[in-house]
Structure 1
Amino acid sequence: MSVDRPRQSLPKIMLWVASAALVVMMSVTVLDVILRFAFRIPVRGAYDVVSFSLLIMVFFGLAPVIARAGEITIDLIDYMVSPRVLVLLETLATCAAFAVFVFLGWSMISPAQDAYKWGGHSLELGMPVWWLWAVAFVGLSGILWVCLRRLIADIGRLRTAATRGPAPERSRT
């Protein structure tokens, strides 16, 4: 078993969940449009299913992007600074991303508690809303785990760059 396999299994699982949510979202939308246009029979609960699928897609789709360093980057200063500075900037960006997701999680606690305490329900299907918060927290914990793993890797690259000279190029594909 490879050392990288356990590290990459969580992002792969999260990618599959996000992909399934996207397929559900698209299928329900297409089916709703076709049935509404052809037979004047809308899909009951389509709005809720699409909303729930979007939440799942977002919270489970970010971790694979972070794991492969697939964020949008703008190479404005890459050619003007040394590779060590680039590694430092990438490490700082990872720290910032981690801080943003921690803040997001912290900000989600109170509304999630309120949803559980007061028992809100979705518009069309009447499903309890608190479980959506639970799904969001599961996705967010995966994001934080992947972000922390990447931060550890970036700090290792930063140490290597400081002791051995120029940093190795990182693939941006």
Structure 2
Amino acid sequence: MNAVRNIADRLIGLSAILGSIALLIEVGIILVDVIGRAFGVPLYGSQDYVTMTMVILVFGGMAACDRRGGHIAVDLFQGKMSDRMNRIINILSALLGAVAFLAIAWAVLESSRLSQMLNLSTNLIQLPKAWFQWALSGFALLTALGMLLRAVELTVTGRNIHDDTGAESLA
């Protein structure tokens, strides 16, 4: 189980790095566009670039967000429930999250087939939309697998990865 967790953490870390790179690219694009607008020459296609890098930025960091326990959690009753009940709720929420992200991955993958068939691309710079849909599907699948692994770990070992997360766990 530790080997699987180690591989998953490395993939999640890579995903987060790709999301971070997308953030840097996005900031650079916006900076160049704003400065260009001040001089009357905005960056051509900046909206296309920003929209497509946003896909990588958001979904690239999604698995890391789950790994670190960053998703919204309402714990009003956690202190009033037994450890067993809290564990069951954590398992069910991880499974529900995995199903949701699998549904997202599947729906976007199906949408990419349509994008390919119709040769859909961005408005100005003609980037194929399917490329970014594939990336989104891959990141959503990674998030779903991370959630599924968390559910398995909670079920089999009782270990909650949110209790032992930190920057070193994703390195």
Q: Which amino acid aligns with 1:49?
A: Y
Q: Which amino acid aligns with 2:149?
A: R
Query: Does 1:7 find its partner at 2:2?
Result: no
Specify the alignment match of 1:163 in structure 2: none
- SS of structure 1 residue aligned to 2:141: helix
Specify the alignment match of 1:126 in structure 2: 126
The superposition leaves residues 53-74 of structure 1 with CA deviations (integer Å, 9 ceiling, x where unpaired) of: 1001122111111222222222
Alignment of 1:13-52 (within 5 A): 13-37=14-38, 39-52=39-52
The superposition leaves residues 34-90 of structure 1 with CA deviations (integer Å, 9 ceiling, x where unpaired) of: 2211x1110111111101110011221111112222222222001111111111111
- SS of structure 2 residue aligned to 1:14: helix
Percent identical: 20
Specify the alignment match of 1:170 in structure 2: 163
Distance (Å, rounded) in 2 between the aligned partners of 1:18 and 1:126: 22
Alignment of 1:86-165 (within 5 A): 86-158=86-158
4+ residue stretches of structure 1 with deviation over 4 A?
none
The gaps in structure 2 that reach 5 residues or longer are 167-171
Specify the alignment match of 1:73 in structure 2: 73
Aligned length: 163
Distance (Å, rounded) in 1 between the aligned partners of 2:165 and 2:8: 19
Specify the alignment match of 2:63 in structure 1: 63
Q: Is the 8 A contact 1:18 1:57 kept in 2?
A: yes
Distance (Å, rounded) in 2 between the aligned partners of 1:170 and 1:64: 14
Q: Which amino acid aligns with 2:163?
A: R
Shift of 1:171: 5.0
Structure-2-length-normalised TM-score: 0.85
Q: Is the 8 A contact 1:87 1:157 kept in 2?
A: no
Q: Which moved more, 1:84-93 or 1:26-35?
A: 26-35
Structure 1 residues 172 and 7: CA distance shift in structure 2, 3 A: closer
Shift of 1:155: 1.3
Distance (Å, rounded) in 2 between the aligned partners of 1:95 and 1:5: 20
The gaps in structure 1 that reach 5 residues or longer are 161-166
Shift of 1:108: 2.2
Distance (Å, rounded) in 1 between the aligned partners of 2:24 and 2:116: 28
Structure-1-length-normalised TM-score: 0.84
Shift of 1:150: 1.2
Bigger Rg over Cα: 1
- SS of structure 2 residue aligned to 1:79: helix
Cα RMSD after superposing both structures: 2.2
